[in-house]
Amino acid sequence: MYKKETTQYSGFERKIAFLLTKFPGVKLAIKKIYQRINYIRYKKDYNIKNSYPIKNISLENKESFFGYYDKSPINQTNEYIIFHSSNISTKGLPDPKTAVDIVLYDIQNNTYTIIDKSYSYNWQQGTKMMWVGEYKFIFNIFENGKYKSKIYDIKSEDFKIIDFPIYDTFKDKFAISLSFERLDIGRADYAYQNKNTKINWSDNTNDGLYYIDLENNTKKIILTLQDVIDINNKDTMKDAKHKFNHIMISPNGKKIMFMHRWFVESGRRFDTLFVCNIDGSNLKILADNDMVSHCYWKDSENVVGYLREFDGDKFYNINMKTLEKTVIGDGVINKTGDGHPTIYKDKMIFDTYPNKARILELYIYDIAKKEVEILGEFYQSFDFYDESRCDLHPRFSYDGGKVFFDSVHEGQRQLYMMDIVK
């Protein structure tokens, strides 16, 4: 492990940023200017520092990426890696008329195979591609004017078409989904741009969370936006635009964690974190204090998330039974700010947003020993910004021996594999 100079934004700077959330347009303009001034002052003479060797996973002369942090690109047997390959530069916005390729990498034979393509994607979460079995994976597509999904079986080389898009899955049994059209509010970086659907924002009774039976190819609504508004009604919700986001199914397939987000006329966003049973029953509020960021199921009874709670903006553990919140890594990791956490047993990997030198940092934290190690630092130029940004989105392999992340430190978006076994 190497030593690094800390150039993270201070607590005072973060407080100013929070105060400016009431004025989103002003905040964005000030943020861009302030970041550029800081970069001139703090820029480094390197683009990468890493504690362990890394391997680039990509087609020759193509940009590659996997997607979000809550899924691993490698299968359970450590034989195959799935990823997206872009046919356009990822510095700009995704083009709904230009598909990304769905690629399978055979690790043992060191071969790449383009399996399919998809027109429904974004740079942050891709096509929501994920493994649903040892040798099966699923991804979203746009076909005949509709969002759908496909399951590919590596062994049989067969596709199964699901007539609905997915957001998260439990094996190859069922999925939970939402309105990808509504995702376009405020954060187009998580949405698809293939349809121009007009939404009746005053009606929240006919849209929400959907249960998709992957075996029978059926869909039903299990929870509406109005359901969550009714149990948590606030003045800011009146005449606001509402959506669900960041659905995560518990490891045992019995519960759903998700965010309710609403946007007022000024563009300001509010968040509440919920959990419910897989059928939408037993709805509970997990966090409801202005800011809820990235979360992850530690196990089926505990969730880790970056929240604004009793001790400020930090990583917290939330127990599903008691709803008790405890700070994770207090005094050890909480100065790094918001990040994307993924957990394997007692190890948590997480990243940071670009610091003053435009460096993203990657950490691994031992929850039991309360020890933190930096795995690497990766430069991100201003060419990758806002919707085209490239968060590291770190993910473990199923055995915890490898870490995968997306990065642009070489000037292009690429998927990397880091072997962390000493």
**Which of 36-45, 175-184, 398-407 ranks highest by mean pLDDT?**
398-407
Length of the chain in terms of residues written: 422
Our measurement of the distance from residue 159's CA atom to the centroid of its chain's CA atoms, rounded to an integer in Å, reads 26
Please state, in angstroms and rounded to a whole number, the distance separating the CA atoms of residues 404 and 319.
Answer: 28
Q: How confident is the model at residue 332 (pLDDT cuts 50, 70, 90)?
A: confident
Q: Select from 52, 141, 71 the least CA-distant residue to 102.
A: 141
Q: How confident is the model at residue 13 (pLDDT cuts 50, 70, 90)?
A: low
Our measurement of the distance from residue 403's CA atom to the centroid of its chain's CA atoms, rounded to an integer in Å, reads 15
Give residue-wise pLDDT tens across range 268-315: 889 999 999 999 999 999 999 878 899 999 999 999 999 988 888 899
Give residue-wise pLDDT tens across range 104-121: 999 999 999 999 999 999
For residue 23, what are the contacts with CB-CB under 8 A and spacing of at least 6?
Answer: 266, 268
Lowest mean pLDDT among 14-18, 43-47, 166-170, 338-342: 14-18
Identify the CATH homologous superfamily for domain 11-419: YVTN repeat-like/Quinoprotein amine dehydrogenase (2.130.10.10)
List the beta bridge partners of residue 321: none
Give the helix/strand (H/E) hosting 15: helix 11-19
Two tokens, residue 90: 């990822």
**DSSP character at residue 183:** G
Statement: residue 357 has pLDDT above 80:
yes
Cα-Cα-Cα-Cα torsion 188, 191, 193, 199, nearest 10 degrees, comes to -90
In the chain, the percentage of residues whose pLDDT exceeds 70 is: 94
Please state, in angstroms and rounded to a whole number, the distance separating the CA atoms of residues 416 and 139.
Answer: 20
Q: How confident is the model at residue 149 (pLDDT cuts 50, 70, 90)?
A: very high
pTM reported for the whole predicted model: 0.93
Q: How confident is the model at residue 11 (pLDDT cuts 50, 70, 90)?
A: low
Determine the pLDDT at residue 1.
54
Q: How confident is the model at residue 53 (pLDDT cuts 50, 70, 90)?
A: very high
For residue 349, what are the contacts with CB-CB under 8 A and spacing of at least 6?
Answer: 341, 342, 343, 362, 363, 364, 365, 375, 394, 395, 396, 403
How far apart, in Å, are the Cα atoms of 143 and each of 45, 67, 94, 304? Answer: 47, 21, 17, 36
Pair 417, 78: CB distance under 8 Å: no
For residue 144, what are the contacts with CB-CB under 8 A and spacing of at least 6?
Answer: none
**DSSP character at residue 245:** E
For residue 297, what are the contacts with CB-CB under 8 A and spacing of at least 6?
Answer: 248, 250, 251, 257, 303
Give residue-wise pLDDT tens across range 56-65: 999 999 999 9
Q: Where are the domains of the chain?
A: 11-419
For residue 159, how many other CB atoms are within 10 A of its CB?
12
> Which amino acid is located at 332 in the chain?
V
Q: Mean per-residue pLDDT for 195-221?
A: 94
Two tokens, residue 197: 């659907």
Please give the sequence-ordered ranges of beta strands (E in DSSP) within 278-422, or none if there are none: 284-287, 292-299, 302-309, 312-319, 325-327, 342-344, 347-351, 359-366, 371-379, 395-396, 402-407, 414-419
Cα-Cα-Cα-Cα torsion 67, 72, 78, 80, nearest 10 degrees, comes to -30
Determine the pLDDT at residue 290.
74
List the beta bridge partners of residue 70: none
Statement: residue 179 has pLDDT above 80:
yes
Please state, in angstroms and rounded to a whole number, the distance separating the CA atoms of residues 416 and 362.
Answer: 13
Pair 375, 50: CB distance under 8 Å: yes
Residue corresponding to tokens 């746009």: 142
Q: Residue 277: CA atoms inside 13 Å, Cβ hemisphere, count?
A: 3
